[in-house]
Structure 1
Amino acid sequence: MAAILAFAGSNSSTSINFKLVQLTTSMLQDHDVQTLNMAEHPFPMYSEDHEKENGFSESLVGLKAKINKAEGLILSVNEHNGNPSAYFKNVLDWLSRLDRNFLEGTKLLLMSTSGGKRGAKGAMTVVEAMLPRFGAEVVATFSLPSFYDAFTDTGILDKGLKKEHQKALEYFLNSLK
């Protein structure tokens, strides 16, 4: 039984990436899973001046502690103009200031989705290259294109994409053993 932390890189209350995370975690059995809704975790925009004046927030320290407790991380990133959202980049900036290696030894299932045909692959590619700098091992990836056509409350509609999602999840879980 592995400890797994799951969240989306979006702070939107209607995040489709969070819906993908929720679907993914609903498929997990026999694991200690904690799912975070990042819409409930605001962080000020990072600046050295803010850090010097205020230090690190309890919310940030708590997030880092949850990440450090987890053996695996399920993350789905959203995309703004071909890149990860400013919110998610800001979270990474804060976490890396607190501890440069805040993901040391963490296995990661990295996902993305969007309403478009590329499924936020631009953001996923950027994040996949970025997270190992902080110690993460990205062991599997999955991108869901055309979210509004491909997803319902019951899950992923396209059989091929559904199988690909399941395969990525299985690969991730096997890496935790």
Structure 2
Amino acid sequence: MKVIAFGASTSSTSINKALATYAASLIEGADVEVLDLTQFDVPLFSEDKEKEIGQAEGAKAFLEAIQQADALVISFAEHNGHHPAAYKNLFDWATRIDREVFKGIPALYLATSPGPGGASNVLAAATNSAPYFGGNVKASVSVPSFYDVFDLETGKLTDSALIDKVESAIKQL
């Protein structure tokens, strides 16, 4: 099974990338590829820019990577209650090439933040909009207070209730 995992963030210290990587590592026998969204360079989307350059190469590469997956593990960062601008921009470019970005591939949606909200607003938005973009969300989990429940040195959750939630969600894939 080929699993594509990524944090919907371009931060070099993304806690969402760490969470997605951890969750994907729990899938027994999976070949996991963790994407770094900084490798998919795209200009700021506008119809004028699209007319000028056509399809952005970074968006094409992003779609190609996703299409290699048998399962997706995505952890959504939240900036002021919404998707980070860099992820949203890449996603917008991708939808202009193929509205069914996620191709019905079974997915686990996650989100985390340093605070008690656990990026639940963006997780709800991503989960609710997924069907419009070929999303096949099998489970979703919000992880609040990331730095209190995740050991960055080992790359693992430390809270037993959250471990159980993520492990249960993984089984849905």
Q: State the 1:65 CA deviation.
A: 1.1
Q: Give the aligned partner of residue 23 of structure 1.
A: 22
Does the CA-based 8 Å contact 1:142-1:165 persist in structure 2? yes
Alpha-carbon distance between aligned partners in 2 of 1:151 and 1:17, rounded to the nearest angstrom: 11
Letter of the 1:49 partner, please give it: D
Does the CA-based 8 Å contact 2:3-2:24 persist in structure 1? no
Q: Give the aligned partner of residue 146 of structure 2.
A: 147
Give me the CA root mean square deviation.
Answer: 1.3
Structure 1 residues 96-155: Cα deviation after superposition (integer angstroms, max 9, x where no partner): 100111222211100000001010000000111112101111111111100111110331
Unpaired segments ≥5 residues, structure 2? none
Q: Give the aligned partner of residue 86 of structure 2.
A: 87
1:169 aligns with 2:170: yes
**SS of alignment partner, residue 91 of structure 2:** helix
**SS of alignment partner, residue 172 of structure 2:** helix
Give the 5 Å matches for 1:1-177.
Answer: 2-152=1-151, 153-154=153-154, 155-172=156-173
Percent identical among aligned pairs is: 36
Does the CA-based 8 Å contact 2:83-2:122 persist in structure 1? yes
Q: Structure 1 residue runs of 4+, over 6 Å off? A: none
Matched residues, number: 171
Unpaired segments ≥5 residues, structure 1? 173-177
Does the CA-based 8 Å contact 2:25-2:32 persist in structure 1? no
Query: Structure 1 length normalisation: TM-score?
Result: 0.91
